[in-house]
């Protein structure tokens, strides 16, 4: 089976990405009328590092942001930046009659979809927006780029302005409504009116006043590096008080990218007794299809990422596009340990020691799981809420339901002493 958009070859993507300009440069061109018809539907995407104290190590002069110009519905580029704490939400920018408007973008089946507030309506897709999108990339580190991305509270926007800069275009800058009862949303603030707008369910919702203070905005930090940076310079610095990371570390890649050198989470922490011709070493991956999280597997195929997911009765091996890989952070950084546990233990209610690694969705609660199929092990997904497990095998989606799921092993994590999950 194939998705609706076939990924392009690297040389074609490079041709698409070679036109890169900063927001400020673009605004200057628009004011000078040097880009006729520009921004009928253009979009930019940003992302996150968690807000912690950074070191005082000097960085080089900051470079401009890097943007990938891509049509709506095209594959995500490499190294996109995520919104704070969000599994599948990226900052986006669109222009209407030369006016910048920030919204949100997400990955669906490996391709870009988006939503923007405009007047009283929500605008989505190429029909509403037209034109191209731009996805913010972070290709390097603070030593090569001179900055790193961070999220701070809206009420802190005037703090430390000598060492940081708000990411904005014109009078619009992105804002993340993190404590929204129905779930976080990314929108924009009009800097002149201090009115924030968020789009959802075909409407545009406004928020003003003190309600904005605890929302999060994205900034460029020019001083030091992000928390737990592993670069050669940060490793030289004196030890700092340890602040354990309690979040899973998912990183964005594309099928066909070079296989990552970081320590990806391996199924059962060993080579599997698996179904031929599947490789024995399988690693946890996440993909999205029609807005649903789909856990599956990747493996190293001649130095490249190969992937397999199952959804809607089908196996997906080709035209995967963008996906996420789960990494195991260094021992001194993470505040928890991973292990694979039997389904009955992972599915227990109430207080428990081991908690499933999961992405919640209204249709189910999706975790990585190793299925037993005819005595063989294969990495796929487990829906704990609905007692259902699936994996892509031989061109089909293999399904286990009910008590048959109890033979599955589910990826779980346990907080270290002195640490706890939110």
CB contact burial 29-61 (16+ within 10 A = b; e otherwise):
ebeeeeeeeebebbbbbbbbbebeebbebebee
Any idea what DSSP says for residue 406? Answer: G
Q: With beta carbons less than 8 A apart as the criterion, state whether 175 and 196 touch.
A: yes
Give the pLDDT confidence score for residue 245 in this predicted structure.
82
The DSSP code sequence of 300-352 is EETTEEEEEEEETTEEE-SS--EEEEEE---TTTBSEEEEEEEHHHHT--SS-
Give the pLDDT confidence score for residue 241 in this predicted structure.
60
Give the pLDDT confidence score for residue 18 in this predicted structure.
39
H-helix or E-strand spanning residue 128: helix 125-129
Give the pLDDT confidence score for residue 313 in this predicted structure.
95
Give the pLDDT confidence score for residue 155 in this predicted structure.
97
Cis-peptide into 277, omega within 30 deg: yes
Please report, for residues 291, 329, 398, 414, the alpha-carbon distance to residue 341 in angstroms, rounded to integers and kept in the order given: 27, 20, 21, 11
Give the pLDDT confidence score for residue 14 in this predicted structure.
38
Residue located via tokens 């050669």: 232
**Which residue ranges in the chain fall short of pLDDT 70?**
1-57, 239-243
Give the pLDDT confidence score for residue 227 in this predicted structure.
80
Give the pLDDT confidence score for residue 206 in this predicted structure.
97
The DSSP code sequence of 141-197 is -HHHHS-EEEEEEGGGTTSSTTTEEE--BTTEEEEEETT-TT--EEEEEETTTTEEE
**pTM recorded for the entire structure:** 0.78
| Residues whose CB is less than 8 angstroms from the CB of residue 87 and which lie 6 or more positions away in sequence, other chains included | 250, 286, 293, 324, 359
């Amino acid at each position: 089976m194939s998705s609706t958009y076939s990924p392009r070859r690297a040389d074609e993507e490079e041709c698409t990405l070679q036109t890169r300009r900063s927001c400020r440069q673009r605004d200057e061109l628009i004011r000078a009328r040097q880009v006729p018809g520009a921004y009928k539907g253009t979009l930019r995407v940003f992302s996150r590092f968690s807000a912690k104290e950074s070191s005082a190590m000097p960085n080089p002069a900051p470079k401009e942001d890097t943007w990938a110009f891509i049509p709506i519905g095209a594959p995500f580029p490499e190294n996109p930046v995520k919104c704070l704490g969000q599994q599948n939400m990226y900052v986006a920018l669109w222009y209407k009659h030369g006016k910048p408007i920030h919204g949100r973008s997400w990955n669906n089946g490996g391709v870009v979809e988006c939503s923007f507030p405009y007047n009283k309506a929500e605008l989505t897709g190429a029909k509403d927006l037209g034109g191209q999108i731009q996805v913010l990339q972070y290709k390097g580190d603070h030593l090569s780029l001179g900055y790193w991305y961070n999220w701070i509270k809206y009420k802190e926007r005037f703090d430390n302005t000598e060492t940081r800069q708000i990411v904005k275009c014109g009078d619009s800058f992105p804002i993340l409504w993190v404590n929204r009862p129905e779930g976080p949303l990314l929108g924009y603030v009009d800097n002149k009116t201090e009115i924030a707008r968020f789009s959802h369910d075909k409407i545009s919702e406004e928020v003003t006043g003190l309600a904005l203070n605890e929302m999060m905005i994205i900034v460029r930090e020019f001083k030091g590096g992000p928390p737990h940076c592993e670069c050669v310079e940060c490793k030289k610095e004196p030890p700092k008080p340890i602040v354990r990371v309690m979040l899973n570390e998912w990183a964005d890649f594309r099928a066909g990218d070079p296989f990552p050198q970081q320590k990806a989470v391996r199924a059962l922490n060993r080579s599997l007794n698996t179904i031929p011709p599947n490789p024995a070493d399988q690693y946890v991956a996440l993909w999205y299809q029609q807005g649903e999280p789909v856990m599956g597997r990747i493996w190293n195929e001649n130095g490249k990422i190969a992937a397999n997911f199952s959804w809607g009765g089908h196996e997906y091996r080709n035209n995967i596009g963008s996906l996420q890989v789960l990494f195991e952070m260094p021992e001194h950084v993470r505040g928890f340990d991973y292990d694979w546990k039997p389904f009955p233990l992972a599915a227990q209610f109430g207080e428990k020691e081991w908690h499933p690694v999961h992405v919640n969705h209204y249709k189910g609660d999706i975790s990585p799981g190793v299925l037993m199929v005819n005595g063989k092990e294969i990495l796929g997904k487990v829906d704990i809420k609905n007692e259902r497990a699936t994996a892509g095998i031989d061109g089909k989606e293999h399904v286990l339901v009910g008590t048959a799921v109890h033979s599955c092993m589910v990826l779980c994590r346990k907080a270290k002493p002195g640490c706890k999950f939110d």
